[in-house]
Amino acid sequence: MATHHVEKEDKQNDAQVNALRHSSDSDDEEEEFEDQNWDDWKDEDDAVEEQGLNPQLQCLFCDSPYGSCSLLFEHCASAHCFDFYGIKKAYNLDFYKCFKLINYVRSQVAVNKCWSCGMICTSKEELQKHLHKAVSFDLSSFPWDDDRYLNPFLQDDSLLYSFGEDDEDEEGDIMIDDTKELASYLSQFEHIDIQVEGASDRCAPELIIPCENGGKGAVLSFDKDLNAAKPLANTNNVAGGLSPYRSRKNETFTVPSTNIATNEIRKINKNYFSSYSSFGIHRDMISDKVRTDAYRQAISENPSLLRNAVVMDVGCGTGILSLFAAQAGASRVIAVEASDKMAAVATQIVKDNSLLRNGISSDGSQQDGVIEVVQGMVEELDNADHIQPQSMDVLLSEWMGYCLLYESMLTSVLFARDKWLKPGGAILPDTATMFVAGFGRGATSIPFWENVYGFNMSCIGQEVVEDAARVPIVDVIDSCNIVTTTKVLQNFDLVTMQPKQMDFTAEVELEPKLVVPLNNPTGSKLEITWCYGLVLWFETGFTERFCREKPVVLSTSPYDPSTHWSQTILTFREPIAMASNSGGDKLAEVGTNDCPAVKIQSRISIVRASQHRSIDISMELTGIGSDRRKRNWPAQFFNLN
C-alpha cells in the first residue's frame, strides 16, 4: 500500500503544494532492516501502524469523519447525492481515475463549486443545498482527467490510499500493484509536456482560484498572479528531477508538481506572446477603427492628462499607443512588450519616427525622443533599475480579450497599477462593463440551411446548433436578432478592483422585447419569440475621472459598429419561447409554445480556467411563466481557450 503526503505552505492566501511524496514497501526491505536490528525504528513504526488501524476518513463534502470507505461513500450517496461506486461502475473508472476524481471533488467543494455541474455557490450552505445526482459525462473526457488531480488536495488524505481496499477481495493484489505503478508514473512528472491546445471544454478549477468566502484555494499558487509565476528552488536533484528522501522502511519521492504548472504556464505564455509576433494580428487590431480611434481620442484629446506625463504602455505591440502618447506631449513613455520579436519591431518603429529615447538615427545623429521599449513581462521589471516603483503618471494598456477577460492580461495591468503607478495616477481605460442579452433564431445558422438553392438541409442546421451548445462562439450578431432586453452583467473599476474580482457570478433577468414580429411562429395566438441563447459583449470607459476634456467609450455592442472582438455567443441546448403578454396553457411546461416564459432568469459565472489565459463560463437558466411557475434547465458549461 502506498502512502501520500503533501506539504503545504500558506503564502499570499494561496495554497502552494511544494511536494507530493509516495512511499512503497517491500518484503525485501523489511528483512534488510530486521537483519540490521534497528529496533528503535521498528518500535516507532509499530506505534505508527497501531495509530493507523482506525484512520479517520473525512467526507468529501462536509467535516464528518468515518472509519471506513464504505461508510463514508454510503454517507456521500445519501446525504450529498454522490454515488462513488455507481460513478466508478458507470464510467469504468480505474484506480488512477478514482484517485483523480476524489481530488477533483475536494478541490471543487473547497471553492463552493458543484463538482458535477460546475455551478458556483456563494456559501458552503448553498452548495450543500444545491448538490444533485451526477450529470452525464462525455466518456472521452472527464473534468477530472487532468494529471494535476494526481496531487492530493488535502494534506494526509487517508481516503486516497484506502478507497481501493474494498476491491482487494475481488482483485487480489491489483490495487497494490496499481499504487506502485502510480508512484512510478508520478516519478516521470518532471518530463510531462502539457499541451496548450486541446483543453477540455468542461469546467475545471483554476491553478489559482481566488475565494472571497475564505475557502481554500486550489493546489498551486504563484507570486502575485499566474503571469508572475516563478519556479521554486530545485536543490539536490537526481536523475529525473526527483529529490529522494529515505525513511526507515520506505523510500519517499518528492515530485516537483509546482515545476509542472510553472512549465505549463511558461509554455502557454510563450505561445501566447509568439502569436502576437504575427503582423496580421496587429494589422487587424490597428485596422479596427472603433478600437484605435477610441484610444487615439482618449490620449490625444485630453492634453491636461498627457502633457509632460510619464506613461507606461503595458503590452505595447507595434507601439501605436506609445506613439499617440508621445505625440500628445508625454515627457517619457515606457513601452513594455513581452514578445521578443515585437519589442524589436516596436523599437525600430519608434526609431524610424525619431521618438526613441537616447536613440541614434540612421544618419548617426542623436535622437531626442521620449519612448523607450522594454522587452519582458511587466511582472519581471524589478531588475529595471531605471524604472522606479510608483513613478508613472499614466498607465495605458489595450488589455481586453474576447468576452473581455479571455487572455487574462488584466492581471498584468493590475500588477503594473500596484507596482508602478503613482498614488492618484490615471489608468486608461479606467472602467469596463459586461452586458448580456438573448438572441433569436436569425442569429443561428438554421435559416441558412433551410433553403440551400431550393433544397431543405435543415438537419445540418439543427446539428450545428446542438454543437454550438457545447462551445462558446465568437462572432458578430446583428442587433435585429437581439430578442430580449439588455442587462449589465458585471462592472469593473480598474482603479480599485483586485485580481480575484475577475472571477464572478452574476444574476440577471431578461424580458422579451415588446416588438419582435420576425421571430413569431405563424398562427401563434400569443406574440411569441424564441430565444436561442445569450450573447455577451463589453465596453470600456475613458471616463471624466481622468479624461476631463474628452471622455470616450469603446463599445463592442451589436448595436454599434463591429470590432475585432465581435461578441461571445452562448447557445441554449433548446430554444425558450417567450412572450411579453400573459396567457398560455397553465398545464404546459414553461418556455414552450403553449406556455411561453415572460422572463428568463440567468445565472452566469465566469472564472479563470485551469488552462492559463483561458476562461470557464457556466450558465444556469430559469424560465418564469405568467402565473409565476418556474422551470429550470440543466446548467451548461463553456471553455473559451
Q: Of 398, 527, 539, 620, which one is the catalytic site residue?
A: 398
34 is catalytic: no
268 alpha carbon, distance to own chain's centre: 13
Within 8 A by CB and 6+ apart from 505, the residues are: 120, 122, 603, 604, 605
Q: Where are the alpha helices (DSSP H) in 111-231?
A: 124-130, 168-171, 174-186
End-to-end C-alpha distance for the chain, whole angstroms = 39
Q: Where are the beta strands (DSSP E) in 67-220?
A: none
Cα distance between residue 413 and residue 494, in whole Å: 9
Q: Provide the 8-state DSSP code for 240.
A: G
Q: Where are the beta strands (DSSP E) in 37-102?
A: 57-58, 65-66
Within 8 A by CB and 6+ apart from 57, the residues are: 65, 66, 67, 68, 69, 72, 158, 159, 162
Q: Where are the alpha helices (DSSP H) in 91-135?
A: 95-110, 124-130
Whether the CB-CB separation of 517 and 529 falls below 8 Å is answered with no
Q: Provide the 8-state DSSP code for 592.
A: S
Sheet holding 310-314, edge to edge: 371-375, 332-337, 310-314, 392-397, 421-428
544 is catalytic: no
- What residue has cell string 529496533? 39
Cα distance between residue 507 and residue 65, in whole Å: 36
Within 8 A by CB and 6+ apart from 533, the residues are: 438, 439, 443, 468, 469, 569, 570, 571, 572
- What residue has cell string 508514473? 185
Nearest to 346 by CA among 300, 393, 286: 286
Cα distance between residue 563 and residue 192, in whole Å: 39
Cα distance between residue 356 and residue 369, in whole Å: 5
Q: Of 407, 527, 539, 620, which one is the catalytic site residue?
A: 407
Instruction: Measure Cα distances from 499 to 87, 262, 409, 416, 635 in Å.
Output: 36, 19, 11, 12, 26
Cell of 364: 548617426
DSSP letter for each residue of 242-278: -EEEE-SS-EEEEE-HHHHHHHHHHHHHHHHHHHTT-
Cell of 255: 515530485
CB atoms within 10 A of CB 498: 10
Residue 52 exposed, middle or buried by CB count within 10 Å (0-12, 13-18, 19+)? exposed
Q: Position 554: which residue type?
A: L
Q: Provide the 8-state DSSP code for 319.
A: S
Q: Provide the 8-state DSSP code for 339.
A: -
Cell of 73: 461513500
List the catalytic residues: 398, 407
